[in-house]
Amino acid sequence: MMSWLPENVSTFGGEIDSLFYLIYYITGAVFILVTVLMILFLVLYRHREGRRATYSHGNTALEITWTVIPAVILLVLSFMSVSSWGRIKAHAPPADFQVQVTAKQFNWEIVYPGPDGKFGTADDFQIDNDLHVPVNKVVHVHLKSKDVIHSFFLPNLRLKQDAVPGRDILVWFEVTKPGKYELPCAELCGFGHSGMRGWLYVDTPEEHEKWVKENWPQQ
């Protein structure tokens, strides 16, 4: 079932996937255990003439066991999740490349700082739905919205962040493999929600430099 996961190309995606797999194996084992026991009980203890059900109100030791074991498993999962979550969300590594993404009904408005490296200056370069970033570089995205809530979703990067009007939310990623990846909106944003998507182009340094030269205003 997990083979349906899209290919991961981000630095933190592997960590998310391994947690995903771990929970999959644990819950899969519990599912099989409970289902097998249930079927077994249904067969073994089906009604037969002359056999009376066991008169029992429970078993404290058993109940403590099946309270403590899930508690321990869930605690371990929590701590593993906390450390991954912290690495992904709490602190962003310093940026090699910055871009502003402003969501609006129903496009991603992408602003590059231009040659001066600053946003809000005359040499900014703006384009809808095409996000070009260099491979193996830490990219900072300043995520905003002009109207309603949208969600910046890069399935191949295991990255999702809502864009909230009135807020400027910092998102970061580093992609390890050049390519073209889909950037859909994942939060219902109106009648044009379906089909609101852009593309993330992850370029080699040479390609990226070429793209910058061809598109950004020159100094």
Partner 1 sequence: MSDSVAVGATHAVPAHHEELGFWRTYVFSTDHKMIGRQFLFLGFFMLVLGGLMAMMIRWELAWPETAVPGLKWLPEPYAYDGIIPPQTYNMLFTIHATLMIFFVVMPIMVGCFGNFLIPLMIGARDMAFPTLNMLSFWVGLLAGLVMLAGFFVPGGHAAAGWTAYAPLSARAAYTGVYWGQNLWIISLLFLGVSSLMGSINYITTIVNMRATGMTYFRMPLIIWSLFITAILLLLALPVLTAALAMLLFDRALGTSFFLPEGGGQPLLWQHLFWFFGHPEVYVLVLPAMGATSDILSTFSRKPVFGYHAMAFSMIAIAFLSWIVWGHHMFVSGMNPYLGTAFMMSTMVIAIPSAIKTFNWLGTLWGGSIRFTSPMLFALGFVSNFLIGGLSGIFMASTPVDIFIHDTYYIVAHFHYVVAGIIFALFASVYYWFPKMFGRMMNEPLAKVHFALTYIFFNATFFPMHILGIGGHMRRIYNPTQYDFLHPLQPINVFITVSALLLGLSQITFVTNFIWSLFGGKKAERNPWKANTLEWVASSPPPHGNFDAIPVVYRGPYEYSSPEVEEDYLPQNRLLITRSSAPRTH
Binders in 119-138 for partner 1, by CB under 8 A: none
Sign of CA dihedral 143, 148, 149, 151: negative
Q: Is residue 182 a contact point for partner 1 (CB under 8 A)?
A: yes
Residue type, 28: G
- For partner 1, the binding residue among 93, 117, 192, 205 (CB under 8 A) is 192
Q: Is residue 117 a contact point for partner 1 (CB under 8 A)?
A: no
- For partner 1, the binding residue among 16, 110, 133, 138 (CB under 8 A) is 16
Cβ 41 to partner 1 shortest distance, Å: 4
Q: Is residue 184 a contact point for partner 1 (CB under 8 A)?
A: yes
Contacts for 168 with CB less than 8 Å, ≥ 6 apart: 142, 143, 144
Q: How far apart are CA 120 and CA 135, in angstroms?
A: 25
Cβ 148 to partner 1 shortest distance, Å: 4
Q: Are 174 and 139 in contact (CB under 8 A)?
A: yes
Contacts for 113 with CB less than 8 Å, ≥ 6 apart: 98, 99, 119, 121, 124
- For partner 1, the binding residue among 110, 111, 159, 202 (CB under 8 A) is 159
Instruction: State in Å, rounded, how far the first CA of the chain is from the last one.
Output: 52
90 or 122: CB nearest partner 1: 90
Q: Is residue 160 a contact point for partner 1 (CB under 8 A)?
A: yes
Q: Is residue 32 a contact point for partner 1 (CB under 8 A)?
A: no
Return the range that interacts with partner 1 (CB under 8 A); candidates 121-129, 132-140, 163-171, 204-212. 163-171
- For partner 1, the binding residue among 47, 94, 122, 214 (CB under 8 A) is 47
Cβ 174 to partner 1 shortest distance, Å: 15
Return the range that interacts with partner 1 (CB under 8 A); candidates 33-41, 110-118, 132-140, 200-208. 33-41
Q: Is residue 63 a contact point for partner 1 (CB under 8 A)?
A: yes
Q: Is residue 61 a contact point for partner 1 (CB under 8 A)?
A: no
Tell me the CA distances in angstroms from 14 to 35, 72, 100, one per residue in order.
Answer: 31, 25, 26
Contacts for 87 with CB less than 8 Å, ≥ 6 apart: 12, 15
- For partner 1, the binding residue among 70, 93, 117, 205 (CB under 8 A) is 70
Q: How far apart are CA 189 and CA 163, in angstroms?
A: 11
- For partner 1, the binding residue among 101, 189, 200, 202 (CB under 8 A) is 189
CA angle (102, 104, 108) in 5-degree steps = 55
Token pair in block for residue 120: 């809000």
